[in-house]
Structure 1
Amino acid sequence: MNVRLHFLFSLLAASLFPQMGGAQELPTEARQEIGRFLDATARKEISVGSIKIDSVAVEGNTLQLFANMNCAYIPFREDNVAEIYKGVSVLLPAEFAKYKLQIRTNKRSIEELIPQALRSKKDKKAKTFAPGTSKALVTELSAPYAPTNGLLNRHIALWQSHGFYYEPKLTRWEWQRARIFQTVEDLYTQSYVLPFLVPMLENAGANVLLPRERDSQTAEVIVDNDGSLNSRSLYTEVSADKNWMQGSGPGFAHLRAQYKDFENPFKEGTYRAIETIKKGKESTAEWIPEIPTTGQYAVYVSYQSLPNSAEDALYTVYHKGGVTQFKVNQQMGGGTWIYLGTFGFDAGKSNEGRVTLSNRSSKAGQVITADAVKIGGGMGNIARRISDNGATENVKSSDANAAIAHKEMPQVDYPYEISGYPRFCEAARYWLQWAGVPDSVYSDSNGKNDYTDDYKCRGIWVNYLAGGSATNPTEKGLNIPVDLAFAFHSDAGTTLNDSIIGTLGIYYTNTNNEVYANGASRYLAHDMTDLIQSNIVRDIRTLYEPNWTRRGMWNQSYYEARVPRVPTMLLELLSHQNFADMRYGLDPRFRFTVSRAIYKGMLQFVCSQYNMDYVVQPLPVDHMALRMTGESEVELTWQPVADPLEPTANAEKYIVYTRIGDGDFDNGTLVDKNSYRTTLPAGVVCSYKVTAVNKGGESFPSEILSAGRAFNAKGTVLVVNGFDRISAPADFTVPAPADTLLAGFLDDLDHGVPYIKDISYIGKMKEYRRSIPWMDDDASGFGDSYGNYENQVIAGNTFDYPAVHGAAILKAGYSFVSSSDEAVENRQISLNDYKYTDLILGKECQTKMGRGGVKPLEFKTFSKPMQDAITAYCNQGGNIFVSGAYVATDLWDNPLAPAEDADKKFAMEVLKYKWRVGQAAVMGKVKSVASPFPVLTGNYTYYNELNADSYVVESPDAIEPATKDAYTVMRYSENNLSAGVAYQGAYKTCVLGFPFEAIRTDAERESLMNAVLTFFNENNN
């Protein structure tokens, strides 16, 4: 028996531990030297532990060196693999020269770890993850173009980390992560995913699926065939050649304001069904919502998927911008909310705001089903409490003595509680319940532990989405062929100094025999992780921070990486606790760049699976200008922007979007060149934005320019948009004892400028602490808005201020056109062609990126070309109105940029004002004072606190006259510091130390603009 055991043990040892066979053992010194060489190679790219050669083996004529997992963190490419083999070969003793060398790590040779997308020769034997020629869940028919080399017809599941959840141990709803640096991970990752990453993927043609609510709109309207709860919203049907019928089986019904335990609204109602027609008179279903307030709302539809469901159910959304149509493949996605798009709706109920569904199809005799429509994100409506089982389990698991005490305590009838937060703040577990997903997906704990349910449900949800499709054929689900899944997280941790923790990628292979449900290798997740992480790190290092840290690519058993049966990456982008990381992480420019890098990595990966060339969507256009070319015609011009990081991202065509008056933008017009002419109706503000398109997709939109033609116009005003700034809050660092760092953000001085809006804000800091070891679980001292959702959506730069100024100009009886500041600076537009100019400076001021010193400062109020243009304009008798929060501070007292005499001379000698002090007022009130210009009168209020309607003006300038012909015309009400200066001489100027567009009401803006233009026009005809 002992001999037999010894024999079996020998066989086991032989299988587990590679042997050298007949070759001489590789000396320890050689192993160490090779490890040091690999270490040095790795540290050119990544920050990891030591690389070691764990073992050596000979297979035939091949010498195999087995490196530890740290070696697998290297982003292997054909060039560095060749260099590694060359360098290691030199280090081998002479007796090993006859062997072919193979270096292995992570169960693969290093050449096998080169992503397929980056190989010059593709591995034709490797099974790709492509599900075939899959059809899209949703296709927008009104889009004027379709990307052929992007992500058209692809389906991507992704999520933005954690969310507000119910903690039974504390009998309260709370954030899953600590609050720090004005945010919390539960919201912070949304600031990348929702405003940047998802639109980029959708602009490339992808269908993006989320397990959390995507709409920050707190209102929600449900319109359903079973009736609408607490609403006058209406569902109607028109039957023509075919009749609507009651569907067999359950559908959605909105029966209660709150849902508890495992109540499923998609199992409590009915749905409607009809046979499709190809010819003849169509039948329709119609959902007419009662919209509570005018605004932007996400539109979702629901239906049932049947064996003979149509692939092209035609939905039409009527909204403020016109009519947009979608084709929905009802063979997939039945019994949940399916997102169509986000649209502007006016308050009330009318035919201008509705959704319709037709039974017309490319195939007759199939079935279209109709159920509910959801408009808006809404407030959380899932109610939670301590259940008897849940409470007991939590107590026992935490403390046995507490369990004994628990038995002796009187039983408490805990009430059900909703979160009180907008649904977009809540964890995935609650959205999935509201979306009809089975409780077996969203509650693995059977209702006992919402925390574990939340992180587990995301991966299980991916498999449920793909269940029954080509990518997950063996499980039941929604039949959506998901191409990849992506978990976006930020990490914990701090550093003693001002160093960066950086970016980590996680995937997992060692499950399900290392293959996905469709038979493809799980090492495809390594490919995707490498591509995405590489794009992120390269782009950050190139554009912002050469010292950005690249961490490992962990092949580890994290639930979100392990469970999905499609290629999945878990990203830990940076540390939200570390000041050096968050200096960048709070900047919208950084968020755009990171999101674009993730999109590019996904694009590379997916296109490699379909064996197709990829093209990256262009960057937004700039140098925009709008000019009159006739009495009722305007011409819009712009310039494309090259992407230094991506040679394929070139603009091929453009889409011009138009908004008339208080409407919304239309579906766009495709144009071949970088100019567009159109008719300008009289008496209304018309606005335009442009996107660039190519075979890869559509860029983000440009800034918005506007024009208006007044009846019997008194003149024409040129509005110049000089407010381009988006940035993180002001920050500071101060050395502290014990090699630590005192650091923080000065949001009371300058909150920064979000892109459009910020949905990640959790409150201002109450105090600053040393950057280590200062964290505790509850982040005490941070987040005075905790529990107050009203401050979680903060307005930023909408790039839409020419319309705001223009509306007041038109009201005053003047026509106007508008231009970007770049078009003036490069002389594409001449100020001298206009009698009146209105320069918008908003919160423009010189701003750094991150720690500064790498990327030049951006957003100077008056560049040298702009100063030259204004000087020439004034010298020829022009009239200029300038307003902005930093019109003087940026030139005199910007801590990032030493003051230059030429700048101050320009302000004093041309515009006739000088700096008195920054942070001049906090109350947001301005009053006119006696001056030689009595027309400049009135009292005004501006946005002085963070809010959802306008960017905040927290530090307006006090400015004073710089010449005897200039006078103070306005003062801040609280302290009488000078807030506005007007000058009359050979030309006229009016300069305000607060932004015009931040004035709170239309009436106040109209009054002030009328006063300024009247001042310019007096004795000046």
Structure 2
Amino acid sequence: MNFSKIIKRSVSLLFILISCFSIHDLNAQTLPKNVIANIGQYLTTAARQEVAGKPIAIDSIRFVKKTINIYAGVELSYIPFRKNNVATIYAQVKKRLPKEYASYSLAIFSDKYKIEDYIPSSLNDRFANKLDKPLITNISRPFEADRGLQGHHLAVWQSHGWYYEQKLGKWQWQRARIFQTVEDLYTQSYVLPYLVPMLENAGANVLLPRERDAQSHEIIIDNDHNRSQSTYKEKKGKEKWNDGETPGFANLKGNYQAGENPFKMGTFREIPTISKGKESFCEWIPNIPETGKYGVYISYQTVENSTDDALYTVYHLGGETEFKINQQMGGGTWIFLGYFSFEEGMNDDYKVVLSNRSHRSGRVLTADAVKIGGGMGNIARVPLNNETNAITYKPTISNYPRYAEGSRYWLQWAGVPDTVYSRTAGENDYSDDFQSRGFWVNYIAGGSSVLPEKGGLNIPIDLAMAFHSDAGTTPNDSIIGTLGICMTHFNDEKFENGKPRLASRHLADMITDEVINDIRQNYEPKWTRRPIWNRSYSEARVPEVPTMLLELLSHQNFADMRYGLDPRFQFMVSRSVYKGMLKFVAHQYDYDYVVQPLPVTSFSLEFAGDTEVRLNWIPTLDSTEPTAKPTKYIVYMRVDNGDFDNGEIVPYSNAQVSIEKDKIYSFKVAAVNDGGESFPSEILSVCRKSNEKGNVLVVNGFDRISAPISFTAQDSIAGFLDAIDHGVPDKNQYNYTGSQYEFRRAIPYMGNDTPGFGGSNSDYETTVVAGNTFDYPFLHGKSIVKAGYSFVSSSRDAVINGQTKLAKYQLVNLILGKQRQTNIGRGYFVPDFKTFPKELQTKITVYCRQGGNIFVSGAFVGSDLWNSENVLDEDLAFASSVLKYRWRVGLAATTAGNVKYAASPFSMFKGQMDFYNKPNTESYGVEAPDALEPLGDNSYTIYRYSDNNLSAGVASQTNYKTCVLGFPFEVIEEEDQRNDLMKSILSFMFRKD
């Protein structure tokens, strides 16, 4: 027997026992039970001022020398902590301690951390990457966002997507179709049109694990094989092109099955860079199937000694846009450059060109495929057992646009290893989809300062965010609200690079706080703040960068979705998320941030000479963000049917531009500061005709964007009635599945295919629905020019504030589209978008009574005044006595979408017209236009709805002339019909009697 080992073990055991007794004795001291209960009650009250929840228990009290450590339940960690409330909590808890502990220090913990550690500014060990040249630099952009997100790399994604369910052998959504949308599409309505552009306008490089272009066409141009009849060309200069040594992209197959990687099926080209001498080029010339806007992606390979300034030029309808690409990162996948417009066909004027010109000779430049457009899904899937019950399943693709599909399929098409996108080895696409996103973050960051010891694309990601909506309902139209999720309790609370995971909590706090505060201030004061959870969700746990999940609202709760379907809400929430990200990154890198400005307003054009146009606008100040002040502006210009150029900086809120006669010029303006660029203004257009017959002022009074009309009927039924008014999407709508069919509140959710209350159709879920383009002066103007007249245009607000003088023009063409008074949500604030605000009525009344003529068209020009919640006598008097019409009926005025001329003394009005009356891809639809009747002498019906003969438009002639249509001019389907109608109106208005 080895006595020496026995003695050693006995001594060790004795030491452990003594130590345990010592610790027990040390911590035996505690506080009286009534004091502990009082502290718990106070913390519960303090926490419930922020987040509703369970009572907060005090789990334990520890005395360590002269410090009292209070360990509160995890519920305390759910609230946002700031210096003020932390100081208050400490002061109030200390007041509740017995007097004998007055000299003791105090530390309050929840979920392992001191509460002061939850303050976002508390983190000293910051998650800051080494920044050299970013992945993408748009060198045609006329500004830099030095105090925005310039050069930073962010990973963002929009929840789930269309996926293949192996158990059922079919493609389906991951969530239910409810309240006219499905989460898989719904969150795209924030991320794609708003959040990503805001981050990019701040200078960020934004990477997504899902397709971001809703364009269903896709053109691949490659050095190996071109299925689209497009062309790849090389032009040799001082150096020549050669094949690379490793595989590259080739689109050799129509569809791709499990494990197949198109970026391993072909070759790529490479060439040394030169700083002087004759440069070499390669060109990708697409065969465009249809004129329109397309996302442009490039690909290349990262090799030893790759160049960091590959010069790409995109030639498009708006001119040329140049990019510098750091090929030392991002090789072997699709890299998104931007959206550009191209003309149908194959034309050397529209292409992507790569030059080997560089600031440094002798580095390696590589070239592979170019992808234009989002395309349709091309990943084919089969059940696990391909033969079940005598059924043999063939591999099937989704038959959906790729932007609707989940991450798992995009990542395969983008060349990502199957170890990233298929964690279950192909057994469960549902699981693979949500798991793939976090592992994709690590893959693209691998090799950078984020994950220096792991392979990947070497892109230094600063943060990641998953944008979701949640499930859950309330019985009384209260709000479910906003939840933030992070995960810090993993890998010893540290990221792989040694930085603290607590940064994820700070990111979640900063973003959710911005969101909740902005919603409460702008739309719903009672918006619910839900907890900030620290939980092991895959998307929060796996990424080795600060990461959060945002559960913005419940897509299953009617009260939430009355806000959530509104583009105004979507814009505002996206701006809140952008601000949270900006402030987080600025803190990590220790610089003073500047928030990009809001869009300008009161935009107007006027002739400043025969071939000169003056532009005026007014900046919009952000009352919540003092830094968001513009310091300069960008004026973008478009000529005829082209696209906008790269813009020109101007220092003041006005500009003067020379134009050529007989061309239509269009302009939009963005505000700029050191934080980036605002979203653009509406688009205004102008044309000076040679031998003009007259001059028309086009006023855009259609600025409505809104959710579908909604209703509640006590506790029995509620929902969205888009057959009456679909609302107005902001340019395009990505998230609409179809009309709601289940309005009974009592019908429960039983499954995705039987979702109960809110259940909605699926007939539109692959359709990108057209909305308000804010470009209708151009469409009206084309018809005006066709008739031989010049025109300028103005916003309604510029008329109201006197910036635009109506009296200068013989005819005013007022665009009212689907303008109508519209609430958001439950209508806490006054409605927006009145057709004729009081100030506008005054301007029009003075103008007409001085002999001015006016043409008005809009779907709700009558019902908005006669049939709104707030009918005013002065509104009715204005329409009746000034514009000479009254409202007859709305809603059921027509279902045919067709009008025909009516006999009247005004013989120039002829023909018939079809107009869009349902959601579609070409134009916003008018579901329920107004029927109007003429009022007074010399006022007559000039058009009637074909299906019921109700009056669709009226014209009058007294000492001035009016023409009012109950359907918008711009929704007429055929251009020839629009031209004929405008010619008739102009003939009537300019006729000398």
**Shorter-chain TM-score: what band?**
over 0.9
Q: Is the 8 A contact 1:763 1:783 kept in 2?
A: no
What is the RMSD of the two structures over their aligned residues, measured on CA atoms? 1.8
* Alignment partner of 1:442 is 2:421: yes
Q: Which residue is 2:3 aligned to? A: none
Which of 915, 933, 947 is matched with 2:920 structurally?
947
Q: Distance in 2 between matches of 1:1010 and 1:490?
A: 49
Which of 869, 880, 885 is matched with 1:908 structurally?
880
**1:237-280 Cα distance to aligned partner (Å, 9 max, x none):** 00110000111110000101111111110000000000000000
Q: Distance in 1 between matches of 2:24 and 2:834?
A: 66
Q: Which amino acid aligns with 2:302?
A: S
Q: Which residue is 1:86 aligned to? A: 91
Which of 150, 165, 168 is matched with 2:166 structurally?
168
Q: Please show how residues 919-958 of structure 1 align to structure 2 within 5 Å.
A: 919=891, 920-958=893-931
Q: Which residue is 2:26 aligned to? A: 21
Q: Please show how residues 674-685 of structure 1 align to structure 2 within 5 Å.
A: 674-685=653-664
Q: Which residue is 1:762 aligned to? A: 737
* Alignment partner of 1:551 is 2:530: yes
Q: Is the alpha carbon distance of 1:113 and 1:263 closer, same or farther for their aligned partners in structure 2, counting shifts above 3 Å?
A: same
Q: Is the alpha carbon distance of 1:9 and 1:958 closer, same or farther for their aligned partners in structure 2, counting shifts above 3 Å?
A: farther
Q: Is the alpha carbon distance of 1:771 and 1:584 closer, same or farther for their aligned partners in structure 2, counting shifts above 3 Å?
A: farther
Structure 1 position 23, deviation (Å):
7.1
Q: Is the alpha carbon distance of 1:772 and 1:506 closer, same or farther for their aligned partners in structure 2, counting shifts above 3 Å?
A: farther
Q: Distance in 2 between matches of 1:273 and 1:525?
A: 40
* Alignment partner of 1:196 is 2:194: yes
**1:32-51 Cα distance to aligned partner (Å, 9 max, x none):** 22122112212222223222
**Partner of 1:644: helix, strand, or coil?**
coil
Which of 337, 340, 343 is matched with 2:340 structurally?
343
Q: Is the alpha carbon distance of 1:900 and 1:439 closer, same or farther for their aligned partners in structure 2, counting shifts above 3 Å?
A: same
Q: Distance in 1 between matches of 2:47 and 2:809?
A: 60
Q: Please show how residues 432-831 of structure 1 align to structure 2 within 5 Å.
A: 432-736=411-715, 742-770=717-745, 773-779=748-754, 786=762, 789-790=765-766, 792-831=767-806
**1:103-151 Cα distance to aligned partner (Å, 9 max, x none):** 11121111111112xx6xxx6xx32111123321000010000111010
Q: Distance in 2 between matches of 1:834 and 1:921?
A: 34
Q: Is the 8 A contact 1:467 1:476 kept in 2?
A: yes
Q: Which residue is 1:213 aligned to? A: 211
Q: Which amino acid aligns with 1:848?
A: N
Q: Distance in 1 between matches of 2:332 and 2:204?
A: 21
Q: Is the 8 A contact 1:131 1:471 kept in 2?
A: yes
Q: Is the 8 A contact 2:178 2:760 kept in 1?
A: no
Q: Distance in 1 between matches of 2:365 and 2:775?
A: 41
Q: Which amino acid aligns with 2:770?
A: A
Q: Is the alpha carbon distance of 1:295 and 1:470 closer, same or farther for their aligned partners in structure 2, counting shifts above 3 Å?
A: same
Q: Distance in 2 between matches of 1:222 and 1:315?
A: 17
Q: Is the 8 A contact 2:737 2:763 kept in 1?
A: no
**Partner of 1:259: helix, strand, or coil?**
coil
Structure 1 position 153, deviation (Å):
0.7
Q: Distance in 1 between matches of 2:279 and 2:746?
A: 66
**1:403-426 Cα distance to aligned partner (Å, 9 max, x none):** xxx7xx44x321111000000000
Q: Is the 8 A contact 2:749 2:755 kept in 1?
A: no
Identity of aligned residues (%): 56
Structure 1 stretch displaced more, 281-290 or 932-941: 932-941
Q: Distance in 1 between matches of 2:729 and 2:499?
A: 42
**1:175-215 Cα distance to aligned partner (Å, 9 max, x none):** 00011000000000000000000000000000000000000
Q: Which amino acid aligns with 1:457?
A: S
Q: Which amino acid aligns with 1:998?
A: V
Structure 1 position 655, deviation (Å):
0.3
Structure 1 position 11, deviation (Å):
8.2
Q: Is the alpha carbon distance of 1:1010 and 1:68 closer, same or farther for their aligned partners in structure 2, counting shifts above 3 Å?
A: same
Q: Distance in 2 between matches of 1:521 and 1:805?
A: 58
Q: Which residue is 1:863 aligned to? A: 837
**Partner of 2:831: helix, strand, or coil?**
coil
* Alignment partner of 1:1001 is 2:980: no
Q: Which residue is 1:363 aligned to? A: 360
Q: Distance in 1 between matches of 2:21 and 2:40?
A: 24
Q: Is the 8 A contact 2:442 2:544 kept in 1?
A: yes
Q: Is the 8 A contact 1:657 1:688 kept in 2?
A: yes
Q: Is the 8 A contact 1:19 1:58 kept in 2?
A: no
Q: Which residue is 1:263 aligned to? A: 260
Q: Which amino acid aligns with 2:926?
A: V
**Partner of 1:514: helix, strand, or coil?**
coil
Q: Which amino acid aligns with 2:115?
A: I
Q: Distance in 2 between matches of 1:138 and 1:710?
A: 42
Q: Distance in 1 between matches of 2:210 and 2:457?
A: 17
**Partner of 2:781: helix, strand, or coil?**
helix
- How many residue pairs are counted as aligned between the two chains? 984
Q: Which residue is 1:234 aligned to? A: 231
**Partner of 1:573: helix, strand, or coil?**
strand
Q: Which residue is 1:842 aligned to? A: 817
Tell me which stretches of 4 or more aligned residues in structure 1 moved more than 6 Å. Answer: 1-15, 781-784
Q: Which residue is 2:949 aligned to? A: 976
Structure 1 position 508, deviation (Å):
0.6
Q: Is the alpha carbon distance of 1:985 and 1:50 closer, same or farther for their aligned partners in structure 2, counting shifts above 3 Å?
A: same
**Partner of 1:945: helix, strand, or coil?**
coil
**Partner of 2:461: helix, strand, or coil?**
coil
**1:558-617 Cα distance to aligned partner (Å, 9 max, x none):** 000000001100111110000011010000010011100100000011111111110000
Q: Distance in 2 between matches of 1:866 and 1:362?
A: 57
Q: Distance in 1 between matches of 2:948 and 2:755?
A: 35
Q: Is the 8 A contact 2:29 2:63 kept in 1?
A: no
Q: Distance in 2 between matches of 1:22 and 1:760?
A: 58
Q: Is the 8 A contact 1:713 1:815 kept in 2?
A: yes
Which of 134, 137, 148 is matched with 1:136 structurally?
134
Q: Distance in 1 between matches of 2:15 and 2:651?
A: 74
**1:838-896 Cα distance to aligned partner (Å, 9 max, x none):** 000000010111110x22210000011100000000001011000000001000002xx
Q: Which residue is 1:918 aligned to? A: 890
**Partner of 1:654: helix, strand, or coil?**
strand
Q: Which residue is 2:853 aligned to? A: 879
Q: Distance in 1 between matches of 2:315 and 2:882?
A: 51
Structure 1 position 964, deviation (Å):
2.2
Q: Which amino acid aligns with 1:885?
A: A
Q: Is the 8 A contact 1:160 1:488 kept in 2?
A: yes
Q: Distance in 2 between matches of 1:261 and 1:898?
A: 60
**Partner of 1:383: helix, strand, or coil?**
coil
* Alignment partner of 1:77 is 2:82: yes
Q: Distance in 1 between matches of 2:25 and 2:435?
A: 44
Structure 1 position 830, deviation (Å):
1.3
Structure 1 position 907, deviation (Å):
0.2
Structure 1 position 24, deviation (Å):
4.3
Q: Distance in 2 between matches of 1:773 and 1:430?
A: 33
Unpaired segments of 5 or more residues in structure 2?
1-5
Q: Distance in 2 between matches of 1:999 and 1:924?
A: 9
Structure 1 position 780, deviation (Å):
5.1
Q: Distance in 1 between matches of 2:183 and 2:133?
A: 35
TM-score of the two chains, using structure 2 as the length reference: 0.97
Q: Distance in 2 between matches of 1:172 and 1:8?
A: 64
